Amino acid sequence: MSRAVIAFGANLGDREATVAGAVRDLAELPGVELVAISPIYESPAMTDTGVDHDAPGYLNGVVVLETTGHTPHQLLAALHEIEASHGRQRLKHWGDRTLDLDLIDVDGLVIDDTGLQLPHPRAWQRAFVLQPWLDVDPEAVIPGRGRVADLRRDAHDEVTRR
């Protein structure tokens, strides 16, 4: 059995319904057991150059899954299918989206290939990932970066619990 951490975000459409549907879809994947879901947080939209104050804010959170029979690459493919089923279009890098599902960690594995990077390359800097992850796993560690609790103290992007 593998443990996976998945971050979710939505800033377009009915964000609450999309997030609830995505969590349900994750829990219904064959060979997957939903272990934990974090509280929901709101954060401003981020781009590669910083906060986009003109874009709608995101609802964010984290789910922890245990899975049998899914490699990290297969799990990522399933996340992309769920995103697409909720209207996700990949038109602009870091653009607004109906749903974003990021594979953050799988059993502490380090993978760096063209299709997948684990741990997620920017998770260690993002309070909107770190805070909900900390809520569901206070002892979590990001390989090569350190304890999530310590990283959260250093992350200064805005997050507000809903």
Residue 36 CA to residue 139 CA, distance in Å, equals 14
Asked whether the beta carbons of 21 and 87 are under 8 A apart, the reply is no
- Percent above pLDDT 90 for the chain: 81
What are the beta bridge partners of residue 109? Answer: none
Residue 144 CA to residue 32 CA, distance in Å, equals 27
Tens of pLDDT, residues 123-153: 999 999 999 999 999 999 999 999 999 999 9
- Percent above pLDDT 70 for the chain: 95
Tens of pLDDT, residues 88-98: 666 666 667 88
Helix (H) or strand (E) holding 18: helix 15-27
Model pTM greater than 0.85?
yes
Say what the pLDDT of residue 96 is. Answer: 76
Say what the pLDDT of residue 47 is. Answer: 78
Say what the pLDDT of residue 156 is. Answer: 87
Tens of pLDDT, residues 22-80: 999 999 999 999 999 999 999 998 877 788 888 899 999 999 999 998 999 999 999 99
